[in-house]
Amino acid sequence: MKKKSTTRTSDDDAPITKGDIESGKLILRARVAGRVVQPKKRVTLYLDAALVDRFKRMAGDRGYQTLINETLKSSVQQADIAETLRQVIREEMQGRKAA
């Protein structure tokens, strides 16, 4: 015998308000064919023990995996900025040589 869920769903009569979203009571996630699209992907990754220990100490209550994820994102963004800057400098140098 199945029990009826007591969890509210998006099909309930109550409208979603901006206050619900801002308070964190509601998180909107993309859906495909009725299923939630996962914003993250599970991977298995081997890291040096000293590195993991350092991130655990730095993270405190936040969770060290979140901190590693943010650090990787930051590194990628910095690499993108550096590449864009190099491209701009190349274009400027080529413009000066032509003039």
For residue range 27-42, what is the model confidence (pLDDT) as tens digits? 667 777 777 677 788 8
Token match 């969770």: residue? 63
Question: How many independent structural domains does the chain possess?
Answer: 1
In a domain, 16, yes or no: no
**What is the mean pLDDT of the segment spanning 83-91?**
91
What's CA 15's distance to the chain center, in Å? 28
54 within some domain = yes
Q: Which SS3 state, helix, strand or coil, does residue 47 take?
A: coil
CA atoms of 71 and 78, how far apart (whole Å): 11
Q: Is residue 4 assigned to a domain? A: no
Q: In a 3-state reduction of DSSP, which class is residue 97?
A: helix
| Inter-helix orientation angle 64-98/49-59, to 10° | 100
Residue 57 belongs to domain spanning? 45-99
- The model's pTM: 0.52
Q: Is residue 61 part of a domain?
A: yes
Residue 49 lies in a domain: yes
**Residue 56 included in any domain:** yes
Cα–Cα distance, 31 to 59 (Å, whole number): 31
* Mean of per-residue pLDDT scores for the chain: 81
The DSSP symbol for 35 reads E
